[in-house]
Chain A
Amino acid sequence: MSDFLWKIGGEAGAGIMTTGLSFAKIASRLGYHVIDFVEYPSLIRGGHNSYEVRVADEKVGALKKEVDCLVCLNEDTFRRHRQRLTPSSYVIYDEADFAVQGEFIKIAVPFKKILSESKGSPVMMNMLALGASLAVIGADLDIVNDIIQEQFADKDQTIVDLNQKFAGLGFNYVKTNYQTLVKTLLPKKNEEKKMVLTGNDAFSLASVVADCRLFAAYPMTPASSVLTTLAAWQEKTGMIVRHSEDEIAVINTALGSSFAGVRSAIATSGGGFALMVEALSFAGVAEIPLVVFLAQRPGPATGMPTWTEQGDLLFAVNAGHGEFPKIVLAPGDVAEMIELTAKAFDLADVYQLPVIILSDMYLSESHQTYPIKGFNDFTASYRVNRGKLVNQPSESKYLRYKVTDDGISERLVPGTSGYFYQANSYEHLEDGHSTEDAAERVKQVEKRERKRITYLKQDFQPAKIYGDMAAATVVFVSWGSTKGPIIEAQKILDRKRVKSAFIHFTHLYPLEKDKIRPLFSQGKRYVLVENNYSGQFGKLLRAEAGIELNDQILKYNGRNFYPEEISEKLFK
């Protein structure tokens, strides 16, 4: 069974990201599942970059501690990551640069010498390293040549040739000099074809499928790639992608377009979201649908821009002054990102309120394999549901904020002849006019609140259970992107004969107490796992469902969980 972790490191600007993604795509094309993770500082040149890819036979949700092949483009890489190596790990490095001390499988490749002999620029070093890596795992050169051809499709053929040449040189050096060490670690398999997607890619794709027509954003790590991806697609998709002057303009532009009748979404991280919060409350009272993609990074303030944390859950749940309903969803992987993004657009339209999709750097920027068939099935079955958006009111007297049993009123597309209405940030009467009347206020507060109740009845999904709840002694409780690491930790525990189950929440707010409480009344050891300091989901469970979880595994150093950490901390 294959389970292989490859890692490359070097100076920022050395091409680590593209090399890493190439490796992930190659592994996917060989028929494997992958997940990867990028470590990079918040700067463009200098500093340390690294990229690791875990390759496995089956769907894999997290990285692992042991590095099976470490590619060192500089000594710093070896120094920083050597503690994750074992005697059976390969280390690819340049002897002219530094000496590798310790018991590993050493693959010395004279990067610098080859570069100077073949007149390659320093940036070609990553192509040498990629070629050498493929030789180590026993893949053939064609697959990397294809990737290079596609990667530089819009560049001159000489650039393609040059990159292919250096990949070939690295490959052949290892083949010739380390014949006995080269093994077919990753034989090609005939598996279904897969896409290699980040959470941000998945959000972007699903918003196109869901017929989002206006997307606005202001760049902020780790949400920025949604903006650049959707912007690059504009002519293909017909979506308007607007980079506004600030986050306040971003959300208010999207509210304007949503009011005018088109599906609208925005993306940001915590700091940008903080600026948007007043308008989120406006969306709440004016009942304007909006999808907000919130990719978390460690705060407070500027925090650690390129690292990961689940620190904004309660901020998202409580965002906005005054009381109004909103929905918060958190996908656990790219498959759920696709499904829940499309659902978010429907929920926003059906309930006429803001829907927040919580991601984080780990989910937003890590690539995972996702079967093409899954995507095709999804696009074929998805139906846009715009709820009570109408081009003609059902009654002759149109009341935008009509009090109804389910709390939802007809939303008329502005421009419809013979009518008019206002979307009002003030408290309003049923017809939209401002009011300060006590009885009318109560009617509208309760009307809006009924949308929450309707949602809990119709669309709330309690939690998914992974593992056998009845047999489990340990039950993990978590949400969002910790899903992968916890499922991998369960596999480790299985091997140690510890039976575990995992309650994973994706529909975080509002919560339906009656559907949740039974999961927590089974006399198990419940362990809350969160990528934050204060156990925010635990607090939310206590507030919304009266469940208290004091057994907690929390991590807040800016890094995602490794499965081994979870299984180890369980017995500490």
Chain B
Amino acid sequence: MNKNFTPMTTIQNFDGYKPTWCPGCGNHGIGAAIKVALVQLGLSPSSVATVFGIGCSGNMNDFLNAYAIHSLHGRSIPNAIGIKLANHKLPVIVIAGDGDIYGEGGNHLMHACRGNHDLTVIVHDNRVYGLTTGQVSPRAAKGFRSKSTPTGIIEKPLNPLLLSLTSGATFVAQAFAGDVNQMVAIFKKGIEHKGFSLINVIQPCVTFNKINTYQYYLKRAYKLPPEYRTGDFDEALKKAHEIDEEKFPLGIIYETNLPVYTDQLPVLKEKTLLERERMSNFDNLMEEYI
């Protein structure tokens, strides 16, 4: 695909196919907010890399124009790390669902936080597996009945905010799919943040989740007040813990600046891995074998 991008891009530059999500699905709002954020950051489909998971949210691969990998289920984060290592000047965004990032790929999330890889991970948290027609996700509330848990799920939901905070993420935020303006603001901050950003977007699934609806979240979500201090780790843990009580703080829960993974690689001091010259003298490697 090619388009002639003017220096300032528009939302239309990012428009791919017409989305196939259900009417009323939270993905529409999230998709729109991502495009607006990219435009407002001055990025073009050529200057950003996105990695999509597998699920309804991952299907955004065809609706959003950009250099992209439509990955395997659960594996978008390691793909994104690879892109970043090869070309750390490229902004890299992961777009995937709660089953993908918190279930199948949970191990990768934990370790990407530890490494403070400079990625922005936007998780569509609708608490069900939509694309496979409504089984529970790791975010489902205890007792939630679904096709795979007809008598109610026994496990309690995973808390991705606490998990990423305690694993070393340097930017942790929560947004609501019903509020495009706030999503745009948070996505922009997350993409601009140098380091690992996790943005959990609470999102109704109008087809398979009749409990966690827009009304449900409107009653239980609230915006963090302006005086909230995003650099306070202990406060962030308290806020993160609230979702276990079905209370949903919205906004940047925690932000701190620490060296990112690629900044700590001596080999990337001057150029990206992609740009550097090929090594041509091998004598000093040979010596140890003589």
Contacts and interface: CB of A to CB of B under 8 A. Distances in A.
B107 interface: yes
A257 B85 contact: yes
B276 interface: yes
B47 A415 contact: yes
Given A255-B79, A282-B71, A418 B87 contact: no
Contacts of A456: none
Contact of A419 (B1, B110, B278): B1
Nearest to B267: A238
A422 B68 contact: yes
B115 to A, nearest CB: 9
Interface residues of B, number: 58
Given A257-B83, A257-B86, A279-B75, A422 B267 contact: no
A88 to B, nearest CB: 32
Contacts of A234: 266-267
Nearest to A421: B1
A116 interface: no
A426 interface: yes
Contacts, number: 207
Contact of A414 (B87, B111, B273): B87
A233 B59 CA distance: 41
A282 B274 CA distance: 22
Nearest to A262: B86
Interface string B1-39: 111110000000000110000000000000000000000
B90 interface: yes
Contacts of A279: 72, 75
Contacts of A177: none
A253 B2 contact: no
A242 B267 CA distance: 12
Interface string A21-62: 000010011000000000000000000000000000000000
Contacts of B74: 248
Contact of B79 (A245, A253, A417): A253
A214 interface: yes
Contacts of B2: 393, 396-398, 418-420
A38 B71 CA distance: 41
B61 A424 contact: yes
A195 B62 CA distance: 53
A256 B111 CA distance: 16
A278 B267 contact: no
B71 A244 contact: no
B70 A256 contact: no
A194 B90 CA distance: 44
B140 interface: no
Given A252-B72, A278-B72, A420 B65 contact: yes
Contacts of B285: 205, 208, 233, 236-237
A425 B70 contact: yes
Contacts of B265: 240
A397 B4 CA distance: 11
A234 to B, nearest CB: 6
Contacts of A238: 267, 273, 276, 279
Given A214-B85, A262-B86, A431 B1 contact: yes
Interface string A239-262: 110101110111011111111111
B279 A256 contact: no
A201 to B, nearest CB: 6
Interface in B39-71: 45-47, 49, 51, 54, 59, 61-62, 65-71
A417 B6 CA distance: 11
10 contacts: A193-B290, A211-B279, A248-B78, A260-B90, A279-B75, A282-B72, A372-B290, A398-B1, A413-B274, A414-B87
Interface of B: 1-5, 16-17, 45-47, 49, 51, 54, 59, 61-62, 65-72, 74-75, 77-87, 89-90, 107-108, 110-111, 265-268, 273-274, 276, 278-279, 282, 284-286, 289-290
Given A397-B1, A422-B66, 8 more contacts: A211-B278, A239-B267, A240-B265, A260-B83, A393-B2, A414-B87, A420-B45, A434-B61
